[in-house]
Amino acid sequence: MVVAESRQGRIDEALGFLNVVCGALVVSVAAFAMVAWFVSSGSGDQTSIGPPVPRAVAFFVLFVGIALLVAAPAIHKKTLERVVAHQRPDERAITVLESFRLATLISFILREGAAIVGLMLTLLTNEPMWCYVLCAAAVVGMIWGWPRAEQLSGLLGAEG
């Protein structure tokens, strides 16, 4: 009984921390989209910073942003698989909790990185659509990958 309450308390604490940090990352992605709108909605005589960027370079950078979005869930999954496979029984709960935190934060940071790539493209080309598309995809990925109690309980389920 006490062990179950203690375990639930650890899960609630880990999820509380992750909800705050992940929420802040979602807000930052929305801020990037607002910056892109603000930068591109200025007077018509504004141009991109620096020389014009060739379309091939812009699409390559877009590919980098998409690669970050694709890598985020894959890294999350691999990190959690590794913690289940390589563990010491006496440190299992702590290892699972910290690995879950780390995997979730890394996946959210990668998604935020894709939004930053979109903002960078917007600043280089003065076309806000780059940022809007990558920010929207990042927010969808963040919502899809939001940390859930069921995930963490499932990882801790074999603890005993």
Q: Which CA distances in Å does 59 have to 54, 102, 116? A: 9, 31, 15
Higher pLDDT, 87 or 94: 94
> Which 3 state secondary structure label does DSSP give 127?
coil
Report the number of distinct structural domains present in the chain: 1
pTM confidence score: 0.86
Mean pLDDT of 5-22: 84
> Which 3 state secondary structure label does DSSP give 38?
helix
Q: How many helices (H) and strands (E) does the chain have?
A: 5, 0
Range of the domain at 68: 2-159
Higher pLDDT, 39 or 134: 134
Structure tokens at 135: 């920010």
Instruction: Give 9's pLDDT tier (boundaries 50, 70, 90).
Output: confident
Statement: residue 25 has pLDDT above 80: yes
Structure tokens at 132: 């809007």
